[in-house]
Amino acid sequence: MLPSFIRRLHLHEGAFEGLFLVILGCLGIIERSLIASALKSRYQEPLSADKFLFIICIALILGGVLWGIVSRKAPHQTKLSQIISPTFLKATFALIGYLLIMRLVGFYFSTIIFLLLLFQFCSNQKWLRSLLLSLGLASFFYVLFAWLLDTVLP
C-alpha cells in the first residue's frame, strides 16, 4: 500500500530526528551570521539577540548529533516507513488538497469534497452515505460560522 519511495526510506529513526535538529541548528547559524552585522551598529548587549540564537542553535546541533548516536543503541529500532500508515498518508493528501483548493472553490465546496474523500479513504461506507454526511457536516459548519457567528470564511 505504501509508495515505494517511502518503503525505500529505511532511515533509522534517531538519524532522521537528529538530522532534523542539526538542519534547524545550521539554518539558525547561517541566519545568525546575517543578523550579526545588522546588530553591530546598535547598543552592544553582553548577550545579544544573535548570540542567544547561536547558543540555542549550537545546543540543537549538539543535541541532534548526540541523539543520532545514542538512539542507534536502542534495541528496537523503528523505520520511518513503519510510522507512516496508509490511512495517515491518504488523510494527509486529502488535507493538502483541501487547503490547496479552499481559496479556489471556497470553504463550503472544498469542505464537502474533503470530507467525502476522507470518509471514502478511511472507512468502508457507501458513497451515498459519505456524500450525505459530508453535505450535512459542511452545511452545519457553514451555518454556524458564516451565518450565526458572521465569520468571513475563504
Partner 1 sequence: MESIGLLMGFEKILNLQNLGFAFIGALLGTLVGVLPGLGPASAIALLFPLLGHLPPVGAIIMLAGIYQGSQYGGSTTSILVNVPGEMSSIVTCFDGYAMTKQGRPGPALAISAIGSFIAATIAMIALTFSAPLLANAAIIFGPPEYFGLYLLSLTSIIGFSGGSIFKGLLTALFGLFLTLVGVDPMSGVIRLTFKIPILSGGLDIVPVFIGLFGITEALSQLEETIDGTVKKIGRLMPTWEELKRGIFASLRGGLLGTALGVLPGMSPSIGSFLSYDLEKRISKHPEKFGTGMIEGIAGPEAANNGTSISGMIPMMSLGIPTCATLALVLAALVVYGVQPGPLMFTQHAEMAWSVIASLYIGNLMLLILNLPLVGLWARLSLVPSHIMAGAVIVLCTIASWVNRFSMFDCWLMFIFGLIGYYMRKKNWPPAPLVLGFIIGPMTEQSLRQTISMYGGNLLGPFSRPLFVCLFIGALVSLFFGFHMQRRATVMKD
Residues that bind partner 1 (CB under 8 A): 13, 17, 21, 24, 27-28, 31, 35, 38-39, 42-43, 45-50, 52-53, 56-57, 59-60, 63-64, 66-67, 70, 78, 83, 85, 87-88, 91-92, 95-96, 98-99, 102-103, 107, 111, 114-115, 118-119, 122-123, 133-134, 137-138, 141, 145, 149-154
Please say whether the beta carbons of 12 and 78 come within 8 A.
no
Residues in contact with 78: Cβ distance below 8 Å, sequence separation at least 6, in sequence order = 13
Cell representation of residue 146: 458564516
Question: What minimum distance in Å lies between the beta carbon of 4 and partner 1?
Answer: 21
> For partner 1, which is the closer residue by CB, 72 or 92?
92
Whose Cβ is closer to partner 1: residue 8's or residue 93's? 93
Category of 153 on φ-ψ map: left (φ > 0), alpha (ψ -120 to 50) or beta: beta
Q: Give residue 106's region: left, alpha or beta (phi > 0; psi -120 to 50).
A: left
To 5 degrees, how large is the angle CA 6–CA 73–CA 77?
30
- Comparing CB distances to partner 1, the nearer of 8 and 66 is 66
Give least dist CB 92 to partner 1, A. 7
The answer to whether 49 and 35 are in contact (CB under 8 A) is yes
Residue closer to partner 1 by CB (options 3, 154) is: 154
